[in-house]
Amino acid sequence: MLYALVGYGISNKELCKVLRQLGHNVFVSEIRLLNLEEKTELESLGVEYEEGQNSDAILRADRIVVSPSVKPDHPVVSKADEKVLTDLDVILALKKPKVVIGITGTNGKTTTCSMLTHALKKAGKSVECLGNIGNPIAKLVEKDIDYLVLELSSFQLFWSRKLPIDIGVITNIKPNHLDWHPSFEHYYRSKLKLFDFSSIRVYNSQDPLLSSLAMSYDNTVGFDRIKANKQEKTIELEGKLYPFSNANLYTTQNLWNLSAVVQVLRIIGFQISEALKLLEDFTPPKHRMQFVAEINGVSFYNDSKSTSAAATIEALENFEDKKVVLILTGKGKNENYEPLINKICEKAKAVVMFGEMASLIKDLIEKANVQSKIVENMDQAVKEAFSMAEPGEVVLLSPAGASFDLYKNYTERGEHFERVVKSLLGG
């Protein structure tokens, strides 16, 4: 069988090796120019390739596997229809663990996947977390596990044909990635494909759109936001108090993530108290409402992973009153920013902006009569925000945009923020 791989990123690189090991012919089509190492690798595998274009040569293949970055209106792939699938389809047809748990959502999916994987490992289960989290699904072939936690993006779900998901979790649905999806409906319908694939469906029952959409499915289990008392180190679930001392999870988004994970663990067979004990020592991934330092009474938080307006709104919910100086930056995703402006008016005392986001949102900020300043770069943004903040207040990097205007990824952006903050400590 001939497979055409459209895009030669991390997932298709791993898949290419697996397909060749299985004796399949492979053709790689990459829109960018391949580097010498990639060409050498393909030649050593005996793989034909093209670079700098995606030509109709793709259509010769029996199966066409697309990278998640390939858009729905791709001029060649859109002609193929039934031939198109993902690395997820291919690998899970070859090897399915006993329990596959798929997790998607606008916000929180990486943390939820990491949290669930941590709990299952601590409980002694054989488990791996693969997919959009950065570990290609093709690595499953070399592993012998009972539980697979699979992070799924809207891009992956859009292109996937049929995934054998035992438990599907949608953390929330808010507008996002409207630079890739032609409409919000297209985006949430792509997310909802996870429920089409799943036997048991877990969803955020406080998300109005998601709750409405979930009514069309059987075998659904809703989860609510956990009530927490950080001072007393207790949380309330279903009217009962439980001790819980993991301060890392007392942020707004992490309490939602925790609720989702507890619900999944209950489905698997754990009691609530058992589930919570498994998560007492869990540390969330970096760049998500991460405390960096306190300088002269001002607290600095790195939330670089908030790459949409909805995520930044969620971040601002962690703070009461107007005690936040917010740093906005990044590349927009064709979103409606009015809800974010409303939340800024409610929660923030000032805004510092740079990058593409500044030009996108400055008029709305000025119209709302919010104190603001446009600067050139992260160094200036952090120093300006610090000068605006008073003791007891917060400087929050929660960009509301993707990093690709100025940085390689959100990690690089967050690390830059942390370096500048720590330079203030030294200065």
pLDDT tens, position by position, 62-86 = 999 999 999 999 999 999 989 999 9
**Domain assignment present for 284:** no
> What is the arithmetic mean of pLDDT over 276-297?
96
- Answer yes or no: are the C-beta atoms of 310 and 406 closer than 8 Å: no
Q: Terminal CA-to-CA distance of the chain, rounded, Å?
A: 63
Place of tokens 């012998």: 144
C-alpha–C-alpha distance, residues 196 and 190, integer Å: 10
Residues 102 and 248 in one domain: yes
Last residue of some domain: 61, 85, 109? 85
Residues 77 and 217 in one domain: no
**What residue type is assigned to position 116 of the chain?**
L
List the CATH number of the domain containing 251: 3.40.1190.10
Residues 295 and 395 in one domain: yes
Q: With bands split at pLDDT 50, 70 and 90, how would you rate the model's confidence at 217?
A: very high
CA proximity to 159, closest of 228, 231, 84: 84
C-alpha–C-alpha distance, residues 424 and 417, integer Å: 11
Residues 227 and 127 in one domain: yes
**What residue type is assigned to position 27 of the chain?**
F
pLDDT at 198 over 60: yes
Residues 248 and 349 in one domain: no
pLDDT tens, position by position, 241-265 = 999 999 999 999 999 999 999 999 9
List the CATH number of the domain containing 6: 3.40.50.720
pLDDT at 290 over 90: yes
Helix (H) or strand (E) holding 199: strand 198-204
**Domain assignment present for 285:** no
**What residue type is assigned to position 316 of the chain?**
L
**In the chain, what percentage of residues exceed pLDDT 90?**
96
Which residue positions form the known binding site for ATP?
A: 105-111
Q: With bands split at pLDDT 50, 70 and 90, how would you rate the model's confidence at 385?
A: very high
**Domain assignment present for 353:** yes
Residues 274 and 300 in one domain: no
Last residue of some domain: 37, 58, 85? 85
CB neighbour class for 195 (10 Å; exposed up to 12, middle 13-18, buried from 19) = buried
- Residue 163: per-residue pLDDT: 98
Q: What is the largest CA-CA distance in the chain?
A: 66
pLDDT at 287 over 60: yes
**Domain assignment present for 283:** no
Residues 257 and 123 in one domain: yes
**Domain assignment present for 35:** yes
C-alpha–C-alpha distance, residues 64 and 124, integer Å: 38
**Domain assignment present for 235:** yes
pLDDT tens, position by position, 111-120 = 999 999 999 9
- Residue 81: per-residue pLDDT: 84
Residues 199 and 297 in one domain: no
- Residue 335: per-residue pLDDT: 92
- Phi/psi for 361 (5° steps) reads -120, -5
Residues 97 and 17 in one domain: no
Last residue of some domain: 278, 301, 330? 278
Residues 177 and 271 in one domain: yes
**What residue type is assigned to position 164 of the chain?**
P
Which residue positions form the known binding site?
A: 105-111
Q: What is the DSSP string of 34-63?
A: PPHHHHHHHHHHT-EEEES---GGGGGSSE
Count of the separate structural domains present in the chain: 3
Residues 185 and 118 in one domain: yes
Q: With bands split at pLDDT 50, 70 and 90, how would you rate the model's confidence at 427?
A: low
- Residue 23: per-residue pLDDT: 97
**Domain assignment present for 220:** yes
List the CATH number of the domain containing 325: 3.90.190.20
pLDDT at 237 over 80: yes
- Three-state secondary structure call for residue 94: helix
Average pLDDT, the chain: 96
CA proximity to 188, closest of 165, 157, 219: 157
Residues 302 and 207 in one domain: no
- Give the structural domain span for 247: 91-278
**Domain assignment present for 47:** yes
CA proximity to 140, closest of 194, 93, 81: 93
